[in-house]
C-alpha cells in the first residue's frame, strides 16, 4: 500500500506573535514545528504500513528549511520525503497549494491513500486536504478519528461529527484528513533520528511538476490576503459610581436610553 | 556552560529530555505515591533505542560511551530519579556481561537488553553491605550446573528484570577470592522474589529480595572464571558510578529549576521572593554546585571513554561529590520554597527524598572517600 502524507511546517503554537507595525506573523526566531495535526497523519500512515506493508511518502510544500519537518517524519517511520519548493509557489492560497500538492502526488506515481491533518495551526482553513482530493478526482473523508479497516480496495473510517461519528466506506485511492483522536504519535528512536539526518530529501521545483505555471503561487490564487490584524478590543462596559441613589438614577437613565425601560 | 557535546550526544540528550517531559513528568507524582514500577516508560525508552546506547554495535547496540549514558540518566533524573533508576540499574546489571562476558554470553543477552530488556545486579545481602566480602550465598558445582542457595537483599529491578548478575561464593575458604559471578535468568526454577521494600524515595523503582533455593544455573552462565566474583563486582561498580553521579546531577538540576521558578513567582512583601538577597544567594550557591557536579561527572565519564585503565578514583569522586550536591541542593530547594516546598503538591520534597539514596547506594559516600584516599595513597607510592 502506497501512502502519501501531506505535512506542513508551521510556527510553534505557543509562540505566535504579530508584528504591530506590519500586522504580519513574526517568523524570525520563532521555532518551526510540524503542524501538530499532521503528526497524527504520519503516525496513522506508519501504522498502516506496519500492518500491511507498503511505503509512506511524506510531502510538503514550503521553503528549503521545511526539509527539517520532513526529516522529523522520517525519524518516526516514513520511508521517503519530497519537498516541493520554488519561489514560484510563494503567496499560494489553498487552491494553488492544493493544485501544487496534487501535481506532486501525481508525479510520485499516485497513492492508494493520501492522509493529511484536519487543518494547519497557522492557516486554519481545513481546505487543502479536500481540495487535493478534488484536483485528483478522488473521494475523500475529513475529520477521520479511526480507520476501521483498509483492505480489498476499500477504506472504512469513522468520521467525527458534532454529536457523534459517521461510518463511511471509500474506495481506494482516496484522501482522508485526520483528527487527534485517531492515535498517539510515537516518539522518534535514536536510530530513526540518525537515519533521518543522513537521508536525502528529494526537492521538486515548479518546472519539475510540469503544470501551467500560472496556477502556482500568487498568480494561481483567487483569494488574496488584503490585511492581517489583531482584532481591536472594544470596551463596552461602564462602571457606575457614586452613592446608591446616584447609581440607581444613572442605571435607570441608561436603561431608558437603550430602550430597555 | 558549553560541554562540547557532539551532535550525536546532543541528539541523545534532546530525545531523553523529550521522553522525560512528555512521558515521565505527567506520571511521576502518581508513580511515587503508588510505588508503581514505570513499565510503560521503560517500553518507550526501549522503543526509542535508549537501551541500545550502551550496547556495542555488534550486539545490536549503538556502541556509545559512559558520557552518552550519563546524559540519558541525567535528563530522566531531572524529572524523576526513581524512573531513571530502573534504566540505570539495567546498565549496572549489564556491565558485568559487557566487561567479562564471553562471546556466547554476549550474543545471548546483549541484543535483548538493547531492545529494551531489563537487567539487575545482585551483590548486597543482609550481612554483606559495605563489607561485601561477607557474602553468604553459595554456588556449588554439580555436573554441568551450579546450585545457588541464599538470599540477596535490596536488589533494584528485582521482579522486573529479565537478567540478574549474581555474586555468590564458590569457595568460602578463600574469602573474597572465593566469589564468582553468574548470569541468572528470570524464571529459572528455584529463583524467586522475596519482600518488596517500602522506601523513603525512588519509590517507583522496585527493590526486592532475590531468593535462591537450590537454583540450578548452567556452567555456561559463569562470568569469567571461578574466584573472579569480586573483581567483577568492583570493576562493575567503578564503571557504573558515573551513572549514579549523573542521576544526582539530574535530581539537583530539577530541584534547582523548581526553586528558581517558584522564587520568581512567589510574592511576599509586595515583590517576588527572588528579589530578596537571602534567596538570591541560595540560588546562586545551588547553581554553582550543580554546575560543578556536572563538570566533574562529565570529566570522569570522558576519562573512562578516553580509555583510562584505572578510573576508580575519578568515578568515586564524581559519585560522592555529585550525590552530596544533590542532597544539599534538593534540601535548599525545599527551603527556598518554604511551606510549599514541604508539601507533596510540589515536586521538591520528592526530589529531596530521591536525592538521599544517591549518597548511599553503589557504595556509601564514606566508602567512596575510602576509595579516593586509597588511590591517593597508592599514587604516592609509585
Separation in Å, CA of A5 to nearest CA in chain B: 23
Catalytic residue among B74, B314, B349, B362: B362
d(CA A54, CA A44): 13
Cα–Cα distance, B255 to B249 (Å, whole number): 10
The pLDDT tens digits for A86-116 are 999 988 999 999 999 999 999 999 999 999 9
Strands A32-34 and A140-151: unpaired
How many angstroms separate the CA atoms of B83 and B204, rounded? 6
Please report residues of B whose CB lies closer than 8 A to that of A187: 15, 18-19, 22-23, 44, 47-48
Candidates A187, A195, A197, partner chain B, best to mutate (most B CBs within 10 A): A187
Q: Based on C-alpha coordinates, what's the Rg of chain A?
A: 24
Query: Architecture of B230-380 per CATH?
Result: Up-down Bundle (1.20)
Residue ranges of domains in chain B: 7-118, 120-229, 230-380
Q: Nearest CB to B50: which of A190, A192, A197? A: A190
Task: Compute the nearest-CA separation of B48 from chain A (Å).
Answer: 4
Q: By the CB < 8 Å criterion, does B53 face chain A? A: yes
Closest partner residue to B15 (CB to CB) among A186, A190, A197 is A190
Minimum Cα–Cα distance from A191: chain B residue: B49
Rounded to a whole number of angstroms, the distance from the CA of A188 to the nearest CA of chain B is: 6
Tell me whether strands B145-156 and B138-142 are parallel, antiparallel or unpaired.
Answer: antiparallel
What residues of B are in contact with residue A192 (Cβ under 8 Å)? 49
Distance CA B254, CA B251 (A): 5
Distance from CA of A123 to the nearest CA of B (A): 27
Q: Between chains, do A190 and B22 touch, taking CB under 8 Å as contact?
A: no
Say how far apart CA B251 and CA B352 lie, in whole Å. Answer: 8
Q: What is the pLDDT along chain B (382 residues), one digit of tens a residue?
A: 999 999 999 999 999 999 999 999 999 999 999 999 999 999 999 999 999 999 999 999 999 999 999 999 999 999 999 999 999 999 999 999 999 999 999 999 999 999 999 999 999 999 988 887 899 999 999 999 999 999 999 999 999 999 999 999 999 999 889 999 999 999 999 999 999 999 999 999 999 999 999 999 999 999 999 999 999 999 999 999 999 999 999 999 999 999 999 999 999 999 999 999 999 999 999 999 999 999 999 999 999 999 999 999 999 999 999 999 999 999 999 999 999 999 999 999 999 999 999 999 999 999 999 999 999 999 998 7
Q: Which CATH superfamily is domain B7-118 in?
A: Acyl-CoA dehydrogenase/oxidase, N-terminal domain (1.10.540.10)
DSSP states along chain A: -EEEEE--EEE-GGG--B-TTT-SB--TTPPEEE-HHHHHHHHHHHHHHHHH--EEEEEEES-GGGHHHHHHHHHTT--EEEEE--GGGTT--HHHHHHHHHHHHHHTT--SEEEEESS-TTT----HHHHHHHHHT--EEEEEEEEEEEETTEEEEEEEETTEEEEEEEESSEEEEE-GGG--PPPPPHHHHHHHHHPPPEEE-HHHHTS-GGGSTGGG-S-------PPPPPP------SSHHHHHHHHHHHHHHTT--
- Domain B120-229, CATH: 2.40.110.10
Contact yes or no for B22 and A187 at CB 8 A: yes
- Measured CB to CB, residues of chain A less than 8 Å from chain B are 186-194, 197
Nearest CA in chain A to B12: A190
What is the chain B residue with the closest CA to A189? B48
CATH numbers and ranges of domains, chain A = 2-220 (3.40.50.620)
Instruction: Select from B48, B76, B116 the residue whose CB has the most chain A CBs within 10 Å, as the one to mutate to test that interface.
Output: B48
C-alpha cell at A229: 490584524
Is residue B362 part of the annotated active site? The answer reads: yes
Helix (H) or strand (E) holding B140: strand B138-142
Amino acid at each position: 500500500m502506497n501512502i502519501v502524507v501531506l505535512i506542513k511546517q508551521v510556527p510553534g503554537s505557543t509562540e505566535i506573535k504579530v508584528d504591530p507595525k506590519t500586522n504580519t506573523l513574526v517568523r524570525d526566531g520563532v521555532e518551526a514545528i510540524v503542524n501538530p495535526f499532521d503528526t497524527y497523519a504520519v503516525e496513522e500512515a506508519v501504522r498502516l504500513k506496519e500492518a500491511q506493508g507498503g511505503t509512506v511518502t511524506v510531502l510538503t510544500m514550503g521553503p528549503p528549511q521545511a526539509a527539517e519537518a520532513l526529516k522529523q517524519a522520517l525519524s518516526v517511520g516514513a520511508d521517503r520525503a519530497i519537498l516541493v519548493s520554488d519561489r514560484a509557489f510563494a503567496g499560494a492560497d489553498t487552491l494553488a497549494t492544493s493544485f501544487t500538492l496534487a501535481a506532486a502526488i501525481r508525479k510520485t506515481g499516485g497513492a492508494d491513500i493520501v492522509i493529511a491533518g484536519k487543518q494547519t495551526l497557522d492557516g486554519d482553513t481545513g481546505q487543502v486536504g479536500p481540495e487535493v482530493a478534488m484536483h485528483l478526482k478522488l473521494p475523500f473523508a475529513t475529520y477521520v478519528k479511526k480507520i476501521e479497516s483498509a483492505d480489498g480496495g476499500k477504506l472504512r473510517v469513522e468520521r467525527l461529527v458534532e454529536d457523534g461519528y459517521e461510518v463511511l466506506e471509500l474506495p481506494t485511492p482516496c484522501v482522508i484528513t485526520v483528527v487527534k483522536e485517531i492515535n498517539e504519535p510515537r516518539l522518534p528512536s535514536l536510530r530513526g533520528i540518525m537515519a533521518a539526518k543522513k537521508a536525502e530529501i528529494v526537492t521538486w521545483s515548479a518546472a519539475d511538476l510540469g503544470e501551467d505555471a500560472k496556477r502556482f503561487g500568487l498568480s494561481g490564487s483567487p483569494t488574496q490576503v488584503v490585511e492581517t490584524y489583531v482584532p481591536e478590543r472594544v470596551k463596552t462596559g461602564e462602571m457606575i459610581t457614586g452613592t446608591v441613589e446616584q447609581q440607581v438614577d444613572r442605571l435607570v437613565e441608561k436603561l431608558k436610553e437603550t430602550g430597555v425601560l | 556552560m558549553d560541554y562540547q557535546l557532539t551532535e550525536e550526544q546532543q541528539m541523545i540528550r534532546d530525545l531523553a529530555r523529550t521522553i522525560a517531559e512528555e512521558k515521565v513528568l505527567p506520571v511521576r507524582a502518581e508513580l511515587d505515591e503508588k510505588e508503581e514500577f514505570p513499565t510503560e516508560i521503560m517500553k518507550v525508552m526501549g522503543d526509542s533505542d535508549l537501551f541500545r546506547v550502551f550496547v556495542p554495535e555488534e550486539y545490536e547496540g549503538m556502541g556509545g560511551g559512559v558520557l552518552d549514558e550519563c546524559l540519558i540518566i541525567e535528563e530522566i533524573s531531572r524529572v524523576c530519579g526513581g524512573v531513571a533508576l530502573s534504566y540505570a540499574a539495567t546498565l549496572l546489571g549489564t556491565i558485568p556481561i559487557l566487561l567479562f562476558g564471553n562471546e556466547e554470553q554476549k550474543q545471548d543477552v546483549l541484543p535483548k537488553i538493547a531492545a529494551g530488556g531489563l537487567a539487575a545486579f545482585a551483590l548486597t545481602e543482609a550481612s554483606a553491605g559495605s563489607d561485601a566480602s561477607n557474602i553468604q550465598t553459595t554456588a556449588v558445582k554439580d555436573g554441568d550446573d551450579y546450585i545457588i542457595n541464599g538470599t540477596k537483599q535490596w536488589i533494584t529491578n528485582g521482579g522486573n528484570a529479565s537478567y540478574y548478575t549474581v555474586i555468590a561464593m564458590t569457595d568460602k575458604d578463600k574469602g573474597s577470592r572465593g566469589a564468582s559471578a553468574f548470569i541468572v535468568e528470570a524464571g529459572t526454577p528455584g529463583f524467586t522474589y522475596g519482600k518488596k521494600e517500602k522506601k523513603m524515595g525512588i519509590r517507583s523503582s522496585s527493590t526486592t529480595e532475590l531468593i535462591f533455593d537450590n537454583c540450578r544455573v548452567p556452567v555456561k552462565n559463569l562470568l569469567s572464571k571461578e574466584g573472579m566474583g569480586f573483581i567483577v563486582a568492583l570493576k562493575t561498580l567503578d564503571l557504573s558510578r558515573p551513572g549514579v553521579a549523573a542521576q544526582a546531577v539530574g535530581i539537583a538540576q530539577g530541584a534547582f529549576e523548581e526553586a528558581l521558578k517558584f522564587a520568581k513567582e512567589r510574592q511576599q512583601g509586595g515583590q517576588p521572593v527572588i528579589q530578596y538577597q537571602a534567596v538570591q544567594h541560595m540560588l546562586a550557591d545551588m547553581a554553582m554546585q550543580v554546575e560543578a557536579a556536572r563538570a566533574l561527572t562529565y570529566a570522569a565519564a570522558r576519562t573512562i571513554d578516553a580509555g583510562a585503565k584505572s578510573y576508580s578514583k575519578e568515578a568515586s569522586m564524581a559519585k560522592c561529590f555529585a550525590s552530596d550536591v544533590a542532597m544539599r541542593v534538593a534540601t535548599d530547594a525545599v527551603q527556598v520554597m518554604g511551606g510549599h516546598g514541604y508539601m507533596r503538591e510540589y515536586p521538591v520534597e520528592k526530589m529531596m527524598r530521591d536525592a538521599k539514596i544517591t549518597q548511599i547506594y553503589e557504595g556509601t559516600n564514606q566508602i567512596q572517600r575510602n576509595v579516593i584516599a586509597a588511590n591517593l595513597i597508592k599514587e604516592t607510592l609509585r
